[in-house]
Chains A and B, each alone.
Chain A
């Protein structure tokens, strides 16, 4: 596809359930980012992948959050034993990575998944 694709667009789960959110980045984009956006707030960084390597997971709020990108393309963000405070929009972004050389390339965002925990 032409842009970053996220699914599902909406997800409702009961407290304590596990959820999995999918991100399909722009073809050929090496870098992939996950953000969490609470209602009325700006997005907050969760984690970053370069190809299949998770280079930064400093933003993950707890060990209930887990992200993977096993083949360096599609990524999944998993939240175990969900809690009400996990309710938010989860945004995925991808960018071309020139290995830190030359000009920075901007991040392109998907439409996000709105997660509601009841």
Chain B
């Protein structure tokens, strides 16, 4: 079974600064997908960024980018120019390569943005 570990229960960053959230995972599969989801107090899970394991290039979406280290099974999220609206719970998630499997989530990191 796959596992996802987020070792930072809470992180704090000053507005406009950069913050990195950590995620490691364990799997014996070679084909899989990794995701970062944001969950504000409204509870809706919002997809932030995703990475296909077969792609060596790190995914980027505007201020959000990942550092994907396949050999180390590490998938960190970097948020640049942090904004107040970035405050939320962030979950790292894993999905097997079939594409129609349930996601395996980490326990989440609570991100606080200080004005």
B45, B107, B108: which contacts A109 (Cβ < 8 A)?
Answer: B45
Interface size class, chain A: 20 to 34
Interface size class, chain B: 20 to 34
B52, B100, B101, B107: which contacts A103 (Cβ < 8 A)?
Answer: B52
Decide: A107 and B44 in contact? CB cutoff 8 A.
no
Decide: A111 and B42 in contact? CB cutoff 8 A.
yes
- Residues of B within 8 Å of A45, CB to CB, are 102-104
Nearest B residue to A107 via CB reads B103
Decide: A56 and B107 in contact? CB cutoff 8 A.
no
Decide: B102 and A111 in contact? CB cutoff 8 A.
no
Shortest distance in angstroms between B87's beta carbon and chain A's nearest beta carbon? 17
Decide: B44 and A112 in contact? CB cutoff 8 A.
yes
Q: Does B99 contact A (CB under 8 A)?
A: yes
A-B contact pairs, 28 of them (CB 8 A): A31-B100, A35-B103, A41-B107, A42-B91, A42-B93, A42-B107, A43-B45, A43-B91, A43-B103, A44-B105, A45-B104, A48-B102, A55-B100, A56-B102, A91-B43, A97-B100, A100-B98, A100-B99, A103-B52, A104-B95, A106-B50, A107-B47, A108-B47, A109-B37, A109-B45, A111-B42, A112-B43, A112-B44
